[in-house]
Structure 1
Amino acid sequence: MRRLTVKALFAAVLLAAAMPAAPAIADAQTSGYIVLLKDGVSVPSVTNLAGVTVDNLYQSAVRGYSARMTAATAARLARDSRIALVQPDGVASIAAQTLPTGIDRIDAEKSPTAKINGTDERVNVDVAVIDTGVDLDHPDLNVYTAGAKNCSTGRSADDGNGHGTHVSGTIGALDNGSGVVGVAPGARIWPVRVLNNQGSGSFSAIICGIDYVTAHASEIEVANMSLGGSGSDSACGSNKDAMHEAICRSVSAGVTYVVAAGNSAANSSTFVPATYEEVITVSALADFNGQPGGGAASTCRADVDDTFADFSNYGADVDIIAPGVCILSTWKGGGYNTISGTSMASPHVAGAAALYKATHPSASPSAVKSALQSAGTTNWNSATDPDGTHERLLNVASF
């Protein structure tokens, strides 16, 4: 059970459409592209083409690569009978907002699997954090450094931003009597870095991360993606969305994906991967004291206690709601920080998925989603939910 540029949205990460940089000279107009191959075509047979500089190879979730090339080269490549699609690369980045009342609110301290009691008993589950990396030697995290992967710039999967480390703490900070505690204490965290220190990265890097997780699907049970961007549901890539196809195949390999709904106060149907049917999409609840009923004074934001967070995306694609306002968790440099966003709500659910997989190791991703929704409660004030839907609030007391 262990173990190839995005704007931090959702404290979450918003995936924006790629915009080719203006070239300095006419003959240097190269841009990033994602290339997927038809079934039966080997990756090496189409990577040594003139005018193509390959960056990342994809061989598990999808078969293909990302590369820099001119538009003319891309058009020529798209006509090649061996190529399934040639897609311009996209761009993404991170805009952090807000941080464990959240652990209390979802009753994680009541979970017989989490066993939160100040004793370092670790949940035997592996969770990939597809993000800005993770603080590899944070004393409050069980980081599986041998499983670290960098699909962004440089070689290290260490976190120079803080976002990925924060997400990791909510998932599985140690129950060691100090710092904070996560939903699934001590779960092994696989750092999969797809964003740089500024919280920015490419669609191709995200696919690289998904590809890596898929290659280790026999070890990784859950993957968290607190990132996202503009897009639409494509029925597993049928409208030529490489990232969706990669996620679909990774889910088919048995990995449960949990993603942030987004922080644009908009319908999540226009954001990916939040709109994908195969993932668990999470919106954010404002909670300031870890208890139902409302009335608690706000701490780091002006939201009303026990209500739908005013920044959170919403809509039919949202599967569950979890605390995402003023969440305290681990931070880069061995520290702690309080931030907000659906990026902070998503790892609560990823941790819950880890708890469920610990006691139901053969459960499929769809079964995990159903179990989380069934265990959820409606004990929160949905009056401010823009779509009027009273999503189930995550609750892990029975896990």
Structure 2
Amino acid sequence: MATIHFRAEETTVRKALLAVLFAICPVLANIPAVSADTRSDPVGNYIVVLDDDQNAQTVASAHAQAHAASVGHVFSHALTGYAARMTRSQAAAVAADDRVRWVQPDGVAKISIQTFPTGINRVDAETSPTARVNGVDEPMNVDVAVLDTGVDLDHPDLNVYVAGARNCSDGTSADDGNGHGTHVAGTVAARDNLQGVIGVAPGARIWPVRVLNNRGFGFFSQIICGIDYVTANADQIEIANMSLGGFGTDDGACGTVNGDAMHQAICSSVAAGVTYVVAAGNARDDAANHIPAAYDEVITVSALADFNGFPGGSGRRTCRADVDDTIANFSNFGADIDLIAPGTCILSTWRVGRYTTISGTSMASPHVAGGAALYKVTNPAASPAQVKSALQNAGTLNWTWPADDPDGAQEPLLNVATL
């Protein structure tokens, strides 16, 4: 059984870009029964996907009693199902239930990070009529969920909606013990309060949804728990940022063909009106090979190497070796990329009230999430597809497109000057 690793795209100034190994876990539609000997029938973590017309809690409780499954998260909004700890033979027995669509091994998630934000200047956030960057600190009427390592709940530069915090990982709090999620939140929405940094949508309400632990790891079930929570609050949350990625593909059927529960959950959440913005990945590979970047229902963002916040390629390298104003040398590419945004040497908020500079497609994605938030402020009824189209139409090709760009297509660079 393969282990699936997820990562939130990240690299510190002092560390090299982390490599990621991912594999797709098989769906356990018909698992053969094996010996009860614990050496041949080990206990593992599983995700059980039920028929949509089932009551997830009722079925989960029945399975816990009948098959001794140790039930964890129960999903009832973005996905009908539950997560459980059980043996392989117990999972096979559960899979045989007519109410069950499929059972799959749970996956593991891990962060992979890569950073005035020069990015704010590069996307012209300071000229946005909605952002109104004028040194007046006021909340913006839009809500953005950050599915990540949590968010520093009392960072002075963030408008964190603490009552909306959700912890789907270990521990008891959605507070950020890593820093990555707080960095993402700052790029989206750091306050215009004349201190620290400023985000693309200053003062937007941040919903911290902790799906990765302090080391940046988490199970698929924890990520689905976060998506499920966002979907349950889709009447309040307009945007969700997910800087997560792993090897996988889009089956064109919301995960129902290849048994991808996370894809089905995201499709349901998008149908509920939430716009998802995701990182393309840092493997210098076709994004079609990575999920959720490959999903058609999300906005997938690659990273621009930008060192001075201006076009023209005249920026001097700062925190990393790269070519100014071109696609970052670590960024994924391909037909699934919807937008490109600054992703190198981005300064933003960090855990325990601090600030730091890091790089990655994880840093590019929240620029676009902030842009989506700006658009939703003035277009509250816009669907996720309309948000994507509006951002692409507002984008610019004013960046240096290299002749050796592997995908042969120049994506629009996020620009929020008119939003």
TM-score for both structures, normalised by structure 2: 0.91
Cα deviation for residue 362 of structure 1 reads: 0.2
8 Å CA contact retained: 1:99, 1:344: no
> Are positions 1:11 and 2:10 aligned together?
yes
Task: State the AA in 1 paired with 2:213.
Answer: N
Q: Deviations 1:159-192 (Å, cap 9, x if unpaired)?
A: 0000000000000000000100000000000000
The alpha carbon displacement at 1:6 in A equals 4.9
List per-residue Cα deviations over 1:315-370 (Å, max 9, x = no partner): 00000000000000000010000000000000000000000000000000000000
Offset at 1:16? 3.1
Residue of structure 2 equivalent to 1:215: 232
SS of 1:140's partner is: coil
Equivalent positions of 1:43-82 (< 5 A) are 43-48=56-61, 49=63, 50-82=67-99
Q: Is the 8 A contact 1:6 1:227 kept in 2?
A: no
SS class of match (2:46): strand
Distance 1:17 1:99, change over 3 A: farther
Residue 262 of structure 2: aligned partner = 243
Q: Scaled by the length of structure 1, what TM-score is found?
A: 0.95
Q: 1:306 aligns with which of 325, 330, 348?
A: 325
Give CA-to-partner distance per residue, 1:11-54, whole Å, 9 cap, x none.
1896834789xxx9527611111111112221233223222111
Q: 1:162-181 to 2 correspondence within 5 Å?
A: 162-181=179-198
What pairs with 1:167-206 in structure 2 (closer than 5 Å)? 167-206=184-223
The amino acid of 1:75's aligned partner reads A
Query: Is the contact made by 1:173 and 1:182 (CA closer than 8 Å) also made in structure 2?
Result: yes
Corresponding residue number in structure 2 for 1:268: 287
- Choose which of 113, 123, 132 in structure 1 pairs with 2:149: 132
Q: Report the alpha carbon displacement of residue 62 of structure 1 after superposing the two structures with TM.
A: 0.9
Q: Which residue of 2 aligns with 1:397?
A: 417
| 1:98, distance to aligned residue in structure 2 (A) | 4.3
- Cα 1:136–1:194 change in 2 (3 A) is same
Alignment partner, residue 31 of structure 1: 44
Q: 1:18, 1:89 within 8 Å by CA — same for their partners in 2? A: no
Which range moves more in the overlay, 317-326 or 31-40? 31-40
Work out the CA distance in 2 between the residues paired with 1:218 and 1:392.
30
Q: How far does the alpha carbon of each residue in 1:113-170 deviate from its partner, in whole angstroms, 9 at most, with x for none?
A: 0001111133210000000000000000000000000000011000000000000000
Distance (Å, rounded) in 2 between the aligned partners of 1:68 and 1:26: 16
Helix, strand or coil at the partner of 1:75: helix
Contact 1:15/1:92, CA 8 A, preserved across alignment: no
Which of 226, 243, 265 lines up with 2:243 in the alignment?
A: 226
The aligned amino acid for 1:284 is A
Q: Does the Cα contact within 8 Å between 2:131 and 2:374 map onto a contact in 1? A: yes
Confirm or deny: 8 A CA contact 2:394 2:415 kept in the other structure: yes
- Residue 386 of structure 2 aligns to a residue whose secondary structure is helix
Q: After the TM superposition, which of the residue ranges 389-398 and 95-104 deviates more from structure 2?
A: 95-104
Amino acid at match of 2:54: V
**What residue number does 1:144 align with?**
161
1:242 to 1:199, Cα distance in 2 relative to 1, 3 A: same
Distance 1:15 1:251, change over 3 A: farther
Answering whether residue 407 of structure 2 is matched by residue 387 of structure 1, we say: yes
Paired with 2:357 and 2:108, the residues of 1 have a C-alpha distance of: 26
Q: What residue ranges of structure 2 are gaps of 5+ in the alignment?
A: 12-17, 27-36
Distance in 2 (alpha carbons) for counterparts of 1:286 and 1:27: 50
Which runs of structure 2 are paired with 1:330-349 in the superposition (5 Å)?
Answer: 330-349=349-368
Greater shift, 29-38 or 164-173, is seen at 29-38
Comparing 214-223 with 64-73, greater Cα deviation is found at 64-73
Aligned residues: 393
2:103 match: secondary structure: strand
Contact 2:114–2:363 under 8 Å retained in 1: no
Identity of aligned pairs, percent?
A: 64
Please tell me whether the aligned partners of residues 117 and 175 of structure 1 are also in contact (alpha carbons under 8 angstroms).
yes
1:316 aligns with 2:315: no
8 Å CA contact 1:126, 1:219 repeated in 2: yes
Q: Which residue of 2 aligns with 1:252?
A: 271
1:104 maps to 2:121: yes
Stretches of structure 1 that go unaligned for 5 or more consecutive residues are none
User: Could you tell me how far apart the structure 2 residues matched to 1:316 and 1:276 are?
Assistant: 11
